[in-house]
Amino acid sequence: MAVENGRSSAVSGGGGDGGDIYHLPEGCIANVLSLTSPRDASRLSVIGTVFRSAAESDAVWDRFLPPDYRDIISRSSDGPESINVGSKKELYLYLCDHPFFIDGGTKSFSLEKRSGKKCYMLAARSLAIIWADTPRYWRWIPLPESRFSEVAELLDVCWFDITGKINTSMLSPDTNYAAYFVFTTKSRTYGFDHQSAEGAVGISGHDRKPQTIFLDPEAARRHMYQIVPRRLGLLNQMADILRGGVNPPPSENNTQARYPQQRSDGWIEVELGEFFVKRGQDVELEMSLTEVKEGNWKSGLVVEGIEIRPKEG
C-alpha cells in the first residue's frame, strides 16, 4: 500500500521525494507526450504545471500534424494566409474544426480530432457522374447548407453511376479508411425505395468487393427490420401470389447492407466500403456507387460529394 501511495504522490505532486518525474526537463516530457496521441496529450496536461506547459508546446503538436501539412495549406483555395493562427495546437484544432478548400475548391481537407489523421471530401464536381452535364438528367445548383459552391441534383436517370478517385499518397499511412457518399433527398424522391444500389472501394483497375447500399431512408428502415414491401411489376406480383403472398427472407447481401445515417451537419451519408492504406503505398483509390441493373427511373437525390475519413474500430 505504501508503494501505491508513493506512486500516487508522484503523479499528484504530493509531498516527499515521490515527484521525481517533475524533475525531468520540459523538453523531455514534451518528447514523451509527442509519442502519444492528441487526445492523450490533452488528458495528461491536467496532471500538473510542467505537463500542461509541455502538452501545449509546439514540439508536441507539430508531431501530431501531418508531415506535409505546409504543402496542403499552400493549396488552400483562399490562400495559405487565410489560415492565420498562433501556436501549432491552435493550428491543429483549426484544421479539425474548419475544413478548407484545396485544389480549386474541388476538395475539402480537415483532420480527425481524435487521431490527427487526414480527411478529405471530394466535391460532386470532382466526381465522374454519368450524364451529369445533360440538363435533362442532372442539374447543378447552389445550396447554402453545402460546404461547396454547387451540388448535383438528380432529375431523372435510369443509369445511376457515380465514381470518385483519390491517390493513397494523400492519405495517412497505416490507417483504415472508409468512403462515405454524402447526399440529401428532395421531397419527391423515387426509384430507390424498392431497389438497392451497389457500392465499392478499392484500387483502380482491380476487383473490388461490392456492397449492397440503400439510399432511401424509409426503405432502409424497412430492410433493417426485415419489412420487405411487395415488389412492383406484373411478373413479381404473380410470383408473390404463387408464394401465397409471403415475402422471402432477406438475402445474405441485404443482411450485410449499408444504410444511410444522419450527419451532424444536416446531410445524410452511407458507407461505400473501406480500404487500409499501407505505408509508402502510392496507388489510385476508386470509390463508386451504381444502380444500373434494374433500369427503373430514379430522381430526387442531391449529391454533395464523397468523404474519405479514418474508420473507427
Closest C-alpha among 38, 31, 179 to residue 97: 38
Q: What is the mean pLDDT of the chain?
A: 83
In order of their start, the domains of the chain are 23-102 (no CATH), 110-227+256-310 (2.60.120.260)
pLDDT digits (tens, 9 = 90+) for 42-58: 777 777 677 777 788 88
pLDDT the model gives residue 295: 82
Closest C-alpha among 207, 252, 248, 212 to residue 228: 248
- Which pTM does this prediction carry? 0.81
pLDDT the model gives residue 21: 62
- Residue 26, all three cell numbers: 520540459
pLDDT digits (tens, 9 = 90+) for 113-139: 999 999 999 999 999 999 999 999 999
